[in-house]
Structure 1
Amino acid sequence: MIIHYVVKNKKGEMQEGKIKALNKREAFEFFQKDNLIVLSLEEEGKSVLGQEITIFNRVSNKEIVIFTRQLATTFSAKVALAPSLNALSKNISKQYFKRIITNLAADIESGTAFSKALSKYPKVFSRFYISMVKIGETSGSLDLTLNHLADYLEKQYYLNAKVKSAMFYPIFILVALIGAIVVIMVYIVPKIVPIIESSGSKLPASTQMLISLSNFTRAYGWWILAISILIITGLVYLIKKNQRARYYFDLSKLKMPILGSVFQKFYINRIVTNLQILIKGGIPILSAIETTADTTNNLIYQKIMQEASRRVKAGQTISSVFYQYPDRIPVLVSQMISTGEQTGRLEIVLEKISDFYTREVDNVVDSISELIQPLLILILGGGVAFLAISVIMPIYNMTSAF
């Protein structure tokens, strides 16, 4: 990569130029050997032809959680920040993430604040993450802040994984069931049909339906599969690229039977937890609201927080905005926040709400899992019974005729 540098020699003379290096750390070590003080190292923008393919350059939430916990552990053990980052980068297998951590270490060694270095990678480190690090730097307790941040990220990752499992488990079972039915219709039923029809007797309604479904699946199955893939791909693309489509998708999640309440509790938990941590760290209330809005992954709640930001800027309270959305934020939550605002104990109230909704999400997801399992067993049992009756009844009638 080409790196634009600004350095200073022992006489205090500034030097500026470009250097080719594998990364910022290599460039930093090069100048250090010449006893030059590095003031700035910036990667130069690449041309379109020279750009790196970024389709796979994504860092997962799990990787961020593991990295933060490891960094908190090493930094708490009194290992300086830059050496901690360099040590962690050696254990990271993904080259894209490894390069980011190496660049962070080089930035810190050149005198850049950790929070400022992180802000160069907004797609990897959220605004909330950067704000928390800045709190630690300002208060002089970065080790404690990193540990609190790691605890928070682990808690959110656990909740997120639980909600996803509650949503995808029944989908996975239903897809597997549909796949099994298709295999039966395409490969097994056609081999049985000639035997059944050879009897010449009238076939039961269920058997006639089974044969019709088999013929339809064999004739149009590939078309149905291709159209389904196109529709799903188109919807995913539309949701990612179009704000209006994303809005209605987020709204539909909140209106889903059973799972809608889980999503609502999950987003409320994230909002109050983020607010509580930021306010506790000394971030002004307005900045805390804006940061929380940016890190809310649902457009419905994001718009509520953006409105709260505008109202608070105009001198109103958070609760006055929340009261206007009783379908999205329970009145009890708004009342508790109002009490916290009036008594000056908002941070404590938000922590209580956060703890309550963490338990609520856990309990609701566990309850849904317990309800879904017998329901899926009934569906599977019904499908097996239908196939058994449709195939066995005609064969039984044939044997009875003899």
Structure 2
Amino acid sequence: MPVYSCKFSDEKGKIQNLAVFAKNREEAKKFIEGKGYLPLKIKFDFFSILKNIRIIFARKVAESDFLLFNHEFVALIKAGTPILRALEILSERARTPLLKEILFHVREDIKKGKSPSEAFSPWQNYFSSIYIASLLAGERTGNLESTIRRFLVYQKALITVKRRIKYALAYPVLLFLFAIAVLIVLLSFIIPRFASFYADFEAQLPSITLFLIKLSKFFSRNIKFLLIFISFLIILFEWVIKKEKGKRVVHSFLLKIPFISDYIKKGSISIFSRTVGLLLEGGIPLVSALETAARAIPNKIISDKFSKVVRDVRSGESLSSSLEKTGIFPEISIEMIRVGESTASLPEMLSEVANYWDERIEEGLSATVSLIEPVVILFMGVLIAGMLLSVYLPLFRIVTLVR
């Protein structure tokens, strides 16, 4: 939506400036007048075109920005600030055009009589779908503040797990990228110089050296085509993964890889359990909580299995029995949930299940990374040393012959 830069006089006669999202100049003027201000100058903000482009290509609101918004939102609600006024303040403070746009429309929808959950619903693709369910729970219980606080605890737990995974994988990934960079330098600059040197001597070269020289020539001649081909593959993968069928094929393939499959299942158990526990604490019925949690699972194949759980529970089956049939939840988690059902402490027990698997994921990653690091270093050393040796070996022979 276009942005108009508005200069106006407030109720005290003070000149103010405000950026307003509106379809046209007249709508921007009505917005200023509706606040009881006197519009003085309204002009189209040409930079809004760039802002809109950024919004179109933005996939989600950054987790850190959304977390900050909710922290401030809760603080304003606790201080007794009306929701409309709180959203107006936070819209002006929003750090990204996308979040500013969302809050503007949410505020306008609430003005028209919609509830916060209804106003945020059209934008749920840009942030966690759990947030809408949390708002709905707060509206039902009449305690929006505590519900959003529970969502913040939930979101922080997920962010913490993601951050730990990123930190654990950062070093091996950097080592791998460094190895690729070294190989590119060797193939592009070092080996071609040795190749021209050996050509002048018409030396008899070992097979491995000839192979590296041919590989270097191929790489140098076709570097542009290789980059274009790699870019094409990345774009093709992005296009395929956006399609529902392509996404399912990729997700199914990942579940067939032993190491990766294990972590996907553990992560899905954690997300599902934590989400259901959060929504049950907020007063959302079990079936609705299960539906929302099933949609929150990133892997479509596992999400489908959890959708079957929803149907089983709706037909009268217990949650523990339904989850057992999926083959995703291990026996220990099933027993914990069964205890929660029998003692009327299901939300607390589901949170314990999520915490348990978060710890297992972290321990597993730490152990795996500690094994991967020396393997990657050894592989890099052997590969680079082998390439250098194959290049320098003929040089040693030439020096020996000259002597």
User: Is 1:227 paired with 2:226?
Assistant: no
Compute the displacement of 1:29 (Å): 5.6
Taking a change above 3 Å as real, the CA distance of residues 257 and 308 of structure 1, as seen in their structure-2 partners, is closer
* 1:167–1:259 CA contact under 8 A, matched in 2: no
Deviation, structure 1 residue 69: 2.3
After superposition, what is the alpha-carbon deviation per residue over 1:2-57, rounded to whole angstroms, capped at 9, x for unaligned? 9xxxxxxxxxxxxxxxx9667999756634649xxxxxxxxxxxxxxxxx655324
Identify the range of structure 1 (362-371 vs 170-179) with the bigger mean alpha-carbon deviation. 170-179
Q: CA deviation at 1:350?
A: 0.8
Aligned match of 1:246 = 247
Which residue, 132, 138, 146 being the options, matches 2:134?
Answer: 132
| Matched residue, 1:60 | 62
Secondary structure at 2:124 match in 1: coil
Provide closer, same or farther for how the CA distance between residues 24 and 315 of structure 1 changes in structure 2, counting only shifts above 3 A.
farther
For 1:99 and 1:362, locate their aligned partners in 2 and report how far apart those are by CA, in whole Å. Answer: 37
TM-aligned CA distance change 1:236 to 1:392, over 3 Å? same
TM-score, structure 1 as length reference: 0.81
Partner residue of 1:47? Answer: none
**Which residue is equivalent to 1:372?**
372
- By how many angstroms is 1:200 displaced? 4.5
- Whichever structure has more helix as a proportion of its residues is 2
Structure 1 position 268, deviation (Å): 0.8
The corresponding residue for 1:210 is 212
CA-to-partner distance for each residue in 1:305-356, whole Å, 9 max, x for gaps?
2101111111112222322233x32222223223333443322221210111
**Equivalent pair of 1:163/1:263 in contact (CA under 8 Å):** no
1:289 maps to 2:290: yes
**Structure 2 matches for 1:222-371, cutoff 5 A?**
222-241=224-243, 243-326=244-327, 328-371=328-371
Gaps of 5+ in 2: 3-21, 38-51
Match of 2:120 in 1: 118
In structure 1, the partner of 2:98 is 96
- Secondary structure at 1:118's aligned position in 2? helix
Show the counterpart of 1:152.
Answer: 154
Structure 1 pair 62/136, CA: closer, same or farther in 2 (3 Å)?
same
User: In 2 relative to 1, CA 129–181 (structure 1 residues): closer, same or farther, beyond 3 Å?
Assistant: same
Equivalent position SS for 1:82: helix
Distance in 2, Cα, partners of 1:153 & 1:202: 65
Cα–Cα, structure 1 residues 78 and 338, in superposed 2: closer, same or farther, change >3 Å?
Answer: same
Q: CA deviation at 1:132?
A: 0.7
Would you say the 8 A contact 2:109–2:119 is kept in 1? yes
The SS at the match of 2:123 is coil
Taking a change above 3 Å as real, the CA distance of residues 74 and 233 of structure 1, as seen in their structure-2 partners, is: same
CA distance 1:158–1:366, shift in 2 (3 Å): same
2: distance between equivalents of 1:72 and 1:236? Answer: 37
Q: Is the 8 A contact 1:166 1:368 kept in 2?
A: no
C-alpha distance in 1, partners of 2:370/2:296?
31
Q: CA deviation at 1:68?
A: 1.8
Summarize the Cα distance change of 1:27–1:21 in structure 2 as closer, same or farther, 3 Å threshold. farther
Kindly indicate whether residue 36 of structure 2 is the aligned counterpart of residue 30 of structure 1: no
The 2-side partners of 1:144 and 1:94 are apart by: 26
Q: CA 1:337 to 1:22, structure 2 compared with 1: closer, same or farther past 3 Å?
A: farther
CA contact (8 A) 1:118 1:125 kept: no
Counterpart in the other structure of 1:84: 86
* 1:382 and 2:402 aligned: no
Structure-1 separation of matches of 2:247 and 2:197: 52
SS of residue paired to 2:67: helix
Instruction: Please say if residues 250 and 299 of structure 1, whose CA atoms lie closer than 8 Å, have aligned partners that are also in contact.
Output: yes
Query: Cα 1:33–1:202, aligned 2, differ >3 Å: closer, same or farther?
Result: closer
| Cα separation, 2, equivalents of 1:155 and 1:23 | 46
Displacement of 1:380 in angstroms is 1.7
Q: Name the aligned partner's letter for residue 95 of structure 1.
A: P
State the Cα distance separating 1:258 from its structure 2 match: 3.0
Identity %, equivalent residues: 25
Q: Any conservation in 1 of the 2:106–2:116 contact (CA below 8 Å)?
A: yes
Contact 2:140 2:283 (C-alpha < 8 Å) held by counterparts? no
Which residue of structure 2 lines up, in the alignment, with residue 192 of structure 1?
194
Q: Is the 8 A contact 2:84 2:110 kept in 1?
A: yes
For residues 171 and 131 of structure 1, do their structure 2 counterparts lie closer, same or farther at Cα, with a shift above 3 Å needed? same
CA shift for structure 1 position 387: 2.3
Ranges in structure 1 where 5+ consecutive residues have no aligned partner: 3-18, 35-51
* Aligned partners of 1:270 and 1:296 also within 8 Å: yes
User: What amino acid sits opposite 1:295 in the alignment?
Assistant: A
CA distance in structure 2 between the aligned counterparts of 1:293 and 1:218, rounded to whole angstroms? 49
- Contact map agreement 2:172 2:369 (CA 8 A) in 1: no
- Tell me the CA shift for residue 148 of structure 1: 1.6
Q: What is the SS of the residue equivalent to 2:93?
A: coil
User: Which amino acid is the alignment partner of residue 151 of structure 1?
Assistant: V
The alpha-carbon deviation at position 295 of structure 1 amounts to 1.6
Mapped contact 1:253–1:259 kept (Cα < 8 A): yes
User: How many Å separate the matches in 1 of 2:87 and 2:374?
Assistant: 49
Report the equivalent of 2:396: 396
Q: How many residues align?
A: 367
Deviation (angstroms), 1:294: 1.7
Equivalent residue in structure 2 for 1:183, among 163, 182, 185: 185
- Superposition deviation, residue 165 in structure 1: 5.2
What do you get for the CA RMSD once the two structures are aligned? 2.9
Amino acid at match of 2:354: S
Q: Please point out which of 170, 174, 185 is paired with 2:176.
A: 174
Give the letter aligned to residue 308 of structure 2: E
